Structure formats: C-alpha cells, structure tokens
Structure 1
Amino acid sequence: MEDAIKAVQGGASIRVASEQHNVKMSTLYGRLTGRTHIRGRPSIIPREKEKLLSNYAKSMADMGFGLSRVSLLYFTTASIQALAADLVRRETGQECPSLGKGWWRGFKRRHPEICVRRPRSLEEARARNASADTLHQFYDVLEKTISTYKLQPNHIWNCDEKGFNPDPLPSNVVASRTSRATHQQHRKSHDHITANVCVSAAGNSMPPHIIYNRKQLSPALVANGPPGAVYSTSTSGSMDGELFQDWFAKVFLANTSRDTPQLLIMDNHASHLKVATLDMARSSNVIFLALPSKTTHVLQPLDKAVFSSLGQHYQSVSAAARLVKPDHKLTIADFPKIFTEAYVKAVTPANILASFKQTGISPLDRLAVPPAALLPSTVHVATAQPEANVITPEDSDDDLVAQEPDIAAAIPGHSVHPLAQSMVSAGILSENTVQLFLTPVVSHSRLPSAAAQARTLTADSVFEALQERERQKQQKAAEKEARQLQRTQRRARPCTAAETASAAEATPPAEATPLAEATPPAAAVLPIDCALCGSPGAEKCTRCEFAFHNECTLAVSSSAGCLNCGPPL
C-alpha cells in the first residue's frame, strides 16, 4: 500500500498503481483522499520503527543469524524498554509491557514482506570462504583458462557426486489434524548409493556413474538403469581416487575428443587429486579446474538446478513406487528403476543451462551470484589472502590466527545489552550466564591455505606440488611399513646360542618340586568325594574315573598315580 501511494504521488494513475502493486483501487483511493482509516488499536511501536525492525530481521537472516519469533519478541521488548520507555510512560502512564503473540500476529499482518522459514544449515567455513574476493579470484582463473584455450560451451564440463537412500522418507504426508505423531514405515538399512553426474555448459550430459556400498554387483543392481550407466562398488558407497580414475578413463575420455582442449570443473575433494589421474588428464588434453574450497553452494553448477530437481523427482518417484508395491517398501534393487525415472526428468538441457548461468560460469558473468549469497562472509574479518595457484604439501601451525567475528559492529544500531537485560528480566537466563556469554572469547581458526583458492590442477606448478606431496606420503608409508616389518622380524627371529646362555645366567635356577607335591598328569580335579577317606575335593582319574586325593594315594602307595588302573604311562 505504501509503495502504491508513492507511485501515485510520483505521477502514476490510481488504476495503474493499484494493478502494479496488487491493491484494491477503492482502498487506494480512500487512503489518498483520507476517507479510509486504519482499523484497530494503534501499535505500541510507531510504523516507521516497525519498518526498521522488519529490515533488521531480514538483514540478520541474510547474514546467517536469523531471528526466531521468540528472539524477535525479546529483542523488540528490549529495544522498547531501552529506547522508547519514556515515550510509553508519557502517553500511557504505564511501564512498557512485554510483547506477546497478539503483537506478533499484527506485526506479520502489517509487514507482509516477512515470513517465518526454516533455515538451511550453513557451516562457518562456507560462510567465511564464500566472499567477494574468493569469487573474483575464481572468475579470474576461469576467464584466463577460457581465453587461453579458446574454449566453447561444449568444451566446459562440471562433475559432482550426489548421495541417495534406497528407501527415502517423504517430507510431508497428509494426516489427521488431531494426531500428535505421524509415522512412516520403512526398511532399516545401511545402504548408501552415490551417483556421479557430468554435464556440459552446452546442455549435454554423460552417462552417470553409480556406486553401491557392496563387495560385488548383482544383476538386480544394474538392470533397468539409465542408458550407458557405469556401475561400481566400494566399502562406503562413496567416490574414491581409484573409482574417479576409472570413471575418467572409461566415461569422460570416451565421450570427449582429445583433439580439442576440455575443461572439467569440480570440487577440491581428495579423490580428484590422485597424481595418476592428473597425469592422464595432462596427456589427454584435459584441464582440471578446482573450485575454491567450501564454495560449492554458490559456484557448483550441478548443485543449483540439476541436483535440486533430481532430489525432488527422486522423492516423488519413490513415493509413487512405494504405493505401487504390495508391501509399500523399497529395497536397493528398486533403486535403478526409480533413479532412471528421476534422472530423465531432472537432467535436462534446460536445467543444465540454468545451472551454469546461475553460477556465472557460462556465459561468464561475475555478477551472476547475488550479493545476498555473500552477506554471511561480511561478518568474518579476513586477515590475509594467499596467492592463487600455489599449494604447499602440508599446512603449518603458523597459519593459526586469533579471529573473532564482530557481529554487533557489522550490524548498525545493534546492541546486545538491552537484549541481555530482557533475557534476565524474563527469567530465560541468569545474570552469571549472561556475563559468561558477553565475555569475549578468542577463537583460533586457520587462515585459508592456497588449496582453498581456485586452481588449475593440471598446471605445471600445481601438478609438481601434488607430485611432491604424493611422494612424501608414499615415503612415509614405506618407512612405517619398514618399521613394522623390523618389529615383526625381531619377534619371530630365533635366539642365538650366546643370547640363550646369557638369558640362562640371568635367570635363577628353579627349585626342585617334591614328589608329594607333584600333580598326577592323568588326574583331573573335580568336586567329588575321595574313595579312600570320603572327604570332598578328590581328583578323578581321566581313564577309569577313580576318585582319590594325592595324599591318600601316597599314604598307601610309594608312587603317585591311580590305585585302580595303575600309575600313568
């Protein structure tokens, strides 16, 4: 309504303004002529202050520190008590009351531009690394690579992995409003499946690579899958260096031409850094470009339109298949059929082109990533920027720096003390707990290493550094294996005559055991009575089962042994 009024004041007609801003023309006319009044009691906070509060809540959500409904109520109450207490007393003659659900409902009605959403988790490393400087460095490397090799959209590829559960739970189901708990039956299993997808900036796609957490493949796991799909197994069902090298040789090189340079954009996962794979790529005219670390949520094309659509279609197809099956349960043998249906619907040229466009990779657009996606990085102060395309074998502990994000300084007008006082007065937190939270805590975090920046993995400097790191790892592994072999040989080696003689001299001679204390080898101690004296605790002969004590046997015989079947042989 306010925007429509401003449009009319700027020269637009009432009809045009009402159509552009989706408000009734009669209501807009009444507001302009003063014939319409706002119904209900006036809000305890002036409208202009509520607008500032709405903007503050939206800015906090953009930076990754969104306020819940309860937090917003506490913050608003504290702000009123700290900034507008005198005004409330002067107009109402009472102390400022605490705000409740009624004010919240009215606040949402007066400001329809805000809503309550469930936030997605964003780890601190991703919030810090997805900065404007990191993106500029990536686009610099990308632009230089494209111009150097004169790459076209059909020469730019992106590969990534996505995990699947054979029997996923539906997100929402229709149930009774009065039921407090709604359940969904499914099979409990530890099955995990990974699909490696590769697409080009021209809208093309390669056959997927599906990995099961199995030791061997059964015919049911490869039947009715996507055309040309490649199947593998691993212990965890995830991608590793050997499987990525096998996929690169059998799928990527088989679907591309070696006469023209090919650019493969991927993340910094350890499975992509195998020296043998990089050597194969260098000899096959393929350039590996690694995305900056912890920035795939804004720069990975497949994570945008393709994988999101693939996950939604996989959920819907799984729900439909669960209804079709008689037992309403899905197994790992049903995955190929369900994945094929979802893959055909999601991995389309339209979704692929939209993915590359949203990340600004093709066509190259440095402003494609919206500024709102980079706002969480503004609360983290970067103390140093490493050079691009340089990698060290191991990061040293000297990279540790004391770093404390100052959220209050990044948000104008934000003060934590009134909010803390409101928490204490409401009984949510005690004064001692508030003091502990307000005490500055120095957090140590590592500076981003050179590996965290965008880099061409097949470049000479990076490839040589990776070779050196691989050589050091192999050397350490060989040294460890040699030490283990030496320990094993020392334990298994027979003693020499000199070592045996020295050990005998160092060991005192054992005392001779009297014959009466010797244990007959043919007798076994059993809780039975003695046949000679009748007392319990007799030993039973293992040959004739005659029970006796050793003392009783020596009393009637000169040799230890069984009195029934004779001394032991």
Structure 2
Amino acid sequence: MRLKAALDHIERFPDSKMAKVARDFDVPRLRLRRRLEGRGPRNGNPEFHTKLTKAEETALCRYIDRLDNINLAVRKEFVQDTANCILKARASKNDRSPPQVGLKWAGRFIKRHGYSLFPSKVLDANRQASEDVEMLNEYFQKLRTVIESNGVVSEDVWNMDETGFQIGVGKDQLVVTRRRRAQYFGLPVNRESATAIEAVSAGGRVIPLFLILSGQMHMSQWYQVKELEGDTVIGTSPTGYSNDRHSLSWLKHFDHHSRKETVGSKRLLLMDGYSSHTTKEFIQYCDDHDIIPFGYPPHSTHLVQPLDVVVFQPYKHYHAKALDLVVRDGVTNITKLEFLALIQGVRSLTFTKTTIQAAFRETGIFPFNPRKVLDKVARRRQLTPPNPAPNGPHSSPFRTPVTLRQMNKVASEIKDQMNSFPNLNDEFKDNIDRFLSGALAQGTELVHTLRDLGRTRLAEQTAQRRRSMKNKQLQSGGVLTVAQARGMVQEMRNDELARARRVVERAEKQHHNGCKKWFSEAAKISRRWRIEGRLQPMYVIDNPGSGRLLRRA
C-alpha cells in the first residue's frame, strides 16, 4: 500500500525528488525506481518476468528429474539449451532470431525450483576404492528398476562407447629374445586421430562400424578399399573426434540396425555422460524411437562399462598387431587407406559373441550380479603382492655357428659316413654336428626370408594400387555409409566414361566432316578441270560391259 501511495504521489507531483518520496512513504528507493521504470515484482508472478510460462517450467522440471533418475548428469548448459529449444519451438516459423534466455537464467531457474549444483569430482585410486561402493550400489538399484519397469530383455540391453585410434601408432609388444634389455622396433608413425563408435548387446550382437576420420571432405579413395563393408558409416571432423552432430547421426545408425532384431518393445542404451549424449536432440530421438538412455556413475566406466572393461583392450591389441604386421611386410607409410583396410579385420577378431557376452558378465549387467563389480572394488583395497624375483641369466652350452656355405646337399652324406666310422673322435663328431646344424639353420632362415620378401612385394603392390586410385572429393562434412559412397564413386566413374565417349564421338564427327569437306573440294576442282579440258570426261561403268559418260560436267 505504501508503495502504491508513493507512486500516486509522484504521478500527481512529477517534479518530486525520488529519494524524498521514498523516505516520506518509507519504501526502498530502488524498488520505487524499478516500479517507475515499469518492472514488476520478482515474487508472486513469475510468468511475467521469466521467458518460460509456469507450464513450460513445470515440464522442464519433470524432464530434468527424469534424466536424473536414469543417471544422466544434467549440467547448467543443458538446462539453458533446453529452454532455448522451447522458445524456438514456440516462436513463429518466419522468426529468424527467436528469443533466448539470458546467461544467468539457468542459475535463477535452478534456485527457484529447489535444485542444487554439486561438483563432479575425479577421485584418486585410494579415495575411489573407499567411496565407490555406495555409488555403485545406487547405480545397480537404478539399473534393475529401469529394466524391470520397462520389461527390457537381455537381447535389448546395449552398451555404446567411443574409442580413439592414432591410425599409424601401435603399442609396445612382447618380443621373444634372450637379451635382458628392451627391444626397439622402427615403426612409421602417423598420429592422425580417428574415432570408432561401437555398440554391443548382452545377447552378443554388434552394430556395424561408425567411424570418424580427421578431415573436412569425404575422399573417394576411402570408399574404394575393398575390405570395408557396405554398411560401415564414415564421418569427418577437423580433429577426428565426435561432436553433437556425429552422436545424433550414430544414434540413427544404431536405431536402424538394432531395431531389426529387437525382441521386446524397448531398447536400453547404456552409455557414459559425455555432453554429446545428453543434448536435447539426442534425448528427444531416444524418446521418439523407444530407446531408454541410461548413464553410468561419473568416473566408473572402468568398472561397469562392458566395452571399457573387456572389449576395447583386445580391440587396441589387434590393431597394434595388424600395424606391426604390415610394417614388417614393408609398408613404410601408414595412411587412412591402410587404416581402413585393417580396421574391418581387427573388428572381426575383437567383436566375437563370446567376448561380448563375457563383457556384460564381468560388469554384472547380465546375468544381473552386482557382486562381480563390488567384489572387484573390495579387492582393490588389498595390497598388491610383490613381483617374483627375476630368473637367472639364460645360457647355452655353445653357440650354433651360421655360415653361408651350401652344406644341405652333402649333409646327409656326411652323417652316413660318420655312422660308418664308430671310432671317430668325439670332439670331431661334435664339431661336424654343430656345422651341419648351422647349415640347416641357414637354409631355414632363407625360407623365412623368401616368405617375407614375397609378403613385402605384395604389400608394396597393394599400397601402390591404393595410391594409384583416383582420389576425388565426394562430400563436405556429414556422414556417409560405404555403400552410399561407393555408389557416388561409381556415378563419378560413369560420368567420366560418358564424358570420354562424348569426346571420342566429337572427334569422330570432326574427322568425318573433315573427310567430307576434303572430298567435296576435290570434286569441285576435278569438275572445273574437266570443263577446262585439263581432264577427260568421267566414264562411269554401271554394269560389266556397259557404261556411260557423266553428264554433269
């Protein structure tokens, strides 16, 4: 009432000083100023000073609660992005710049609706070992609730994750040697990044490869690698890492291939809380296509994510082995083409049904057994046993001499002669045996060398064939399946062939017209010469024994 009286007084006496009126009517000066500027009260009618209506804010609260219940971390940026999506959907289609909430809107919304912001902290190994149990128990309880309440069967439980590759970088390998020190092997290194997005089910299935390569343009050479399967999808990004757009494209790829063999009505998708997996578009697509996204607890994927725990380790191992093999075969430059040629074989070795099912079993998801993970956490608290003492140095009674003499032809004869002389000196026999062993070892190494040379030649021919393929830009950004890209390449080839045919036809036509013109000019000259008497009249023989003079001069 006092505030209304103060406003009425200023309306009657416009020259009144605001500070004096505020003192006389006992109202805060700042509040009086805001009312004079037309700004309403902060409390009581939020629909008048917030961008969203009460109904829209209530819907947003329910949405946040649902994401929190399925373990997807909701950040302040996500709340702001969702509010902007609501405003955009409400705006007119002709409005090119729809309204957006302010920078501090999300913080005020969180405070207004009683939410709290808790930091997501990275725990060191000791703290994590002592604090993870309660968090993991809560995770398994939520997981069971979601599975039972939605009637999800084991074949429809999926796990997705991303793993990065440096396309020409392997890892340290165990080598067979008698030496006690490290072995160094020269490997041509290409540190270009590539990201594979994989998904496996508790039933042992795997989704076709979704690969992101570094670059801006799709190149035709990539899709001419015969080892790639037609349903493989390739995307590009400047860094070789995924982004929001790629995550949504992958989700559509997953939906297309997993829907074919869905047993129940809904699919459960277990994934980490990466920001690209919690965008409004990603969650909305899941809702529209009967996919239930479920997030892991922070910093726990090394314990509860099947791909992390079991599958990705052999994935990287087989990739490193494949690189090692092609380098030993003589490939001196690892490019995207070599990587694409290897990755399909690496996947076939990695994503076997037994490996995938073991991954879900080890993480306690299927069969449902939280003790698998909880016991592992308990074991981490125990002291690690000391490493066994190293064995003594290896030794050999003698070293087999290796020479270049070709002794294989006479080895059997020498042995026969030695057997016919039983009284030969033992030391002499020993020397002959060592000599023959060295010669046979040399022959064996020659077989291995010839095999390696053959493989090197094959690798060189393969690399040369790939380099000789025409490399043309197919598309800027986005994703392409191998089948789509191969169709585009074939279309380009057909266009090139059609252009070549048109060039040949044009050349033939020019040649024909040139000959026609030449004969026409020759006929004109001969006609003129006959008129001038320089040539005899032309006699044309129509039938044997009969003829006629050409009337036309």
Which interval holds the TM-score relative to the shorter structure?
0.3 to 0.5
Q: Which has the higher contact order (CA 8 A, sep 6+)?
A: 2
Query: Normalising to structure 2: TM-score of the pair?
Result: 0.43
Query: Normalising to structure 1: TM-score of the pair?
Result: 0.42
Which protein is richer in helix relative to its size?
A: 2
Q: Larger Cα Rg: Structure 1 or Structure 2?
A: 2
